[in-house]
Amino acid sequence: MDRIGPVSGLGMRTCLAGRVAQVHRDGEEFSVVTEDWQRVRARRVLVTTGLVDELPDVPGLAARWGRDVLHCVYCHGWEVRDRAIGVLGSFHQALLFRQLSEDVTLFPHGGAELTEEQWEQLAGLGVGVVEGQVGALVIDEGQDRLTGVRLVSGVTVPVQELVVAPRFVARAGFLDGLGLTVQEHPMGLGEQVKADGSGFTGVAGVWAAGNVSDVLAGVPQAMAAGVGAAVAINRNLLLDDAGRAAESRTAVPGSGAFRGAMEAEVSRRVLGTRVHGLEGLPHEG
């Protein structure tokens, strides 16, 4: 998103296209500032800015990301079934993609040393292991497709797909001024904004949903989290409005909340012996 329309007269259903540069608290509300210095005020903030994939530093890898360089067997494994698949540095991913292809090669790439048990498991499954640092990808420019992995040593291993393990980092830098807590994912896969089951971040008025607060959430989980956070925000705003209404009413002398006993007492004092039907109600002390 790289532009934003006028912000005057915003309604509840207004959508603006723009890139947010910062969000900060402004009294009881928030001020959302875009890169071109437009400002929008808000009573509550829901952060759904997702994450950034930090890829391994291998020349040419980023240019193939989302094409023949991939990471999730559940997202796009079926599309690469029965192909020659290389796996960069992840024993776990080698096992996952072995479910879909008999031609899987693991490139440890200087990562964690394989245990004896892991070596035996890979051998039993027929997963090849090629040691040494990966220096580059081999691309068929005419066909625009990956054809292999070249090691620093110069050895080239043919592969059609390459599986990598990115580090997932919440896209939350522009929220630094709000005091949110960014924490490591329990499985050590990246960093995410801390939030409870409703999406509440612990910072008054701020909720988060989707990959920004759960780096492993798929589309269905992210959608459900968005719904849950919206319900929580709606409830929070309702309670806030109700509290404000009560404060404004009691701020005026004699305009407190209705009480049956009080109204009955007023009727007794006004009507005296003509009062009727109020005998069972208590007197106002």
How high is the pLDDT of residue 252?
Answer: 60
Distance CA 99, CA 127 (A): 11
* Domain enclosing residue 159, as ranges: 56-165
Are 100 and 177 in a shared domain? no
Are 1 and 17 in a shared domain? yes
Distance CA 49, CA 57 (A): 24
Are 133 and 219 in a shared domain? no
Are 146 and 62 in a shared domain? yes
Q: With pLDDT > 70 as the criterion, what percentage of the chain qualifies?
A: 87
Question: Which of 165, 189, 204 represents a domain boundary (last residue)?
Answer: 165
H-helix segments, the chain: 73-76, 91-98, 116-125, 219-250, 260-271
Are 210 and 228 in a shared domain? yes
Q: What is the pLDDT of residues 145-182, one digit of tens each?
A: 999 999 999 999 999 999 999 999 999 999 988 999 99
Q: What is the pLDDT of residues 30-65, one digit of tens each?
A: 999 989 888 889 999 999 999 999 999 999 999 999
Distance CA 129, CA 126 (A): 10
Are 60 and 48 in a shared domain? no
Are 65 and 2 in a shared domain? no
Are 71 and 146 in a shared domain? yes
Contacts of 41 (CB under 8 A, 6+ apart): 26, 29, 30, 31, 32
pLDDT band at 9 (very low <50, low <70, confident <90, very high): very low
Are 238 and 259 in a shared domain? no
Distance CA 206, CA 178 (A): 9
Q: With pLDDT > 90 as the criterion, what percentage of the chain qualifies?
A: 71
pLDDT band at 8 (very low <50, low <70, confident <90, very high): very low
Q: Three-state DSSP class for 192?
A: strand
Contacts of 85 (CB under 8 A, 6+ apart): 97, 100, 101, 103, 104, 105, 159, 160, 161, 162, 163
Are 84 and 212 in a shared domain? no
This prediction's pTM:
0.76
User: Residues 26, 28, 33, 37: what is their CA dihedral angle, to the nearest 10 degrees?
Assistant: -50
Cβ pair 179, 171 in contact under 8 A: no
Are 80 and 149 in a shared domain? yes
Predicted confidence (pLDDT) at residue 125 exceeds the cutoff of 90: yes
Cβ pair 101, 82 in contact under 8 A: yes
Contacts of 160 (CB under 8 A, 6+ apart): 68, 80, 83, 84, 85, 145, 146, 147
Among residues 214, 102, 216, 91, which one has the least CA distance to residue 163?
A: 91
Are 80 and 152 in a shared domain? yes
Predicted confidence (pLDDT) at residue 255 exceeds the cutoff of 50: yes
Handedness of CA 122, 128, 134, 139 (dihedral sign): negative
Question: Which of 104, 138, 165 represents a domain boundary (last residue)?
Answer: 165
Predicted confidence (pLDDT) at residue 221 exceeds the cutoff of 60: yes
CATH of the domain at 177: 3.50.50.60
pLDDT band at 201 (very low <50, low <70, confident <90, very high): very high
Number of domains within the chain: 4
